[in-house]
């Protein structure tokens, strides 16, 4: 295990690959469901990057930024919304949930994991961003 992974508990090796493939599977699955649902692609395009507004919380500090980013990039809220959308037969609620989950999926597939308070570049999928030698 590399030093960065030991400090942050980041996934490595086959586990990291599996987690990224899960993200890709989630993204593709949600896009296919959205297509089958016949959702508006304009709405999809407008809402797809909304979870990334959570980056703004990093303006306060890294700990608060990680908390807000992780809340917006965890499966819990969009899965609850998906369940609510099905339960209430609410097309808009369902569409938002599918888009939100697709966003999380592509982020995970690209290696953007949940954040540690050590800073934006420290994720459960490993370090992201430019690495500098100490």
pLDDT digits (tens, 9 = 90+) for 48-105: 999 999 999 999 999 999 999 999 999 999 999 999 999 999 999 999 999 999 999 9
Spacing of C-alpha 75 from chain mean position:
8
In whole angstroms, what is the distance from residue 113 CA to residue 115 CA? 6
Domain locations along the chain? 12-127
**Contact by Cβ (8 Å): 18, 109:** no
pTM score, whole prediction: 0.88
Q: Which of the four pLDDT bands, split at 50, 70 and 90, describes residue 6?
A: very low
Name the CA radius of gyration of the chain, rounded: 16
Signed CA dihedral, 79, 114, 70, 128: sign only: negative
Q: What is the pLDDT of residue 7?
A: 54
Neighbours of 124 (CB within 10 A): 16
């Amino acid at each position: 295990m590399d030093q960065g992974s030991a400090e942050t508990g980041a996934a490595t090796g086959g586990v990291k690959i599996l987690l990224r493939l899960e993200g890709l599977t989630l993204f593709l699955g949600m896009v296919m469901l959205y297509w089958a649902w016949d959702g508006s692609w304009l709405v999809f395009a407008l809402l797809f990057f909304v979870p990334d507004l959570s980056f703004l919380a990093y303006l306060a500090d890294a700990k608060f930024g990680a908390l807000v980013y992780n809340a917006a990039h965890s499966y819990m809220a969009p899965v609850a919304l998906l369940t609510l959308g099905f339960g209430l037969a609410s097309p808009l609620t369902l569409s938002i949930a599918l888009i939100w989950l697709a966003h999380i999926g592509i982020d995970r597939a690209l290696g953007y994991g949940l954040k540690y308070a050590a800073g934006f570049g420290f994720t459960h999928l490993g370090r992201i961003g430019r690495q500098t030698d100490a």
